[in-house]
Amino acid sequence: MLDYVAAVTVTAGGRALPLGGVALPNRRLVLRWLRRQALRLADGHGRNPGPAPAVPWLGVRDVRPVTFHGSDAPEALRAWADDRGRQDHALGALESGRPALLTVVDPFVGLRVTLGAWPVDLWGWAAEASADHPSPPRPRTEGA
């Protein structure tokens, strides 16, 4: 059985920093989470720095905001989130066991934001780990 993980990272000055991530039980939920993060990041463009406004759709697991200096990156995030064909393509990639990735670049400052999701076979990993590490032998109780 596959679970899915998603993460959003920002790379600037050769250093990658995680903005947030989740593990979810199916690919539709993980893609919905990525889409929401893409729209959140895009919609935050042009706002004054400071705390995000309190709106009902901001969840505990939402990524931290990014300040873009140009409009290309936010528009690319919004275009990806609003394009049904690109969403279907990402869903197909996850279904076939491949990652779904989107990277946008803010060329003014060399900022790269990557949204990614990939399947993780947690149950297979656990079964493989237990096969590699057999249970300790049971203590013998003779004459009891």
At 76 the three-state DSSP class reads: helix
The answer, yes or no, to whether residue 26 has pLDDT greater than 70, is yes
Q: Give pLDDT tens digits for 33-66.
A: 999 999 999 988 654 444 444 444 445 578 888 8
Q: Give pLDDT tens digits for 62-90.
A: 888 888 888 899 999 999 999 999 999 99
Among 80, 91, 115, 119, which Cα is nearest to 101's?
115
The string over 14-32, giving b where at least 16 C-beta atoms fall within 10 Å of a residue's C-beta and e elsewhere, is: eeeeebebbebeebeebbe
The answer to whether 23 and 17 have CB atoms below 8 angstroms apart is no
- For the entire predicted model, the pTM comes to 0.74
- For residue 132, which amino acid is it? D
The mean pLDDT of the chain is 81
pLDDT category of residue 24 using cuts at 50, 70 and 90: very high
DSSP string, 30-68: HHHHHHHHHHHHHHTTTPPSSSPP--TT--TTPPPP---
Among 1, 13, 39, 38, which Cα is nearest to 115's?
38
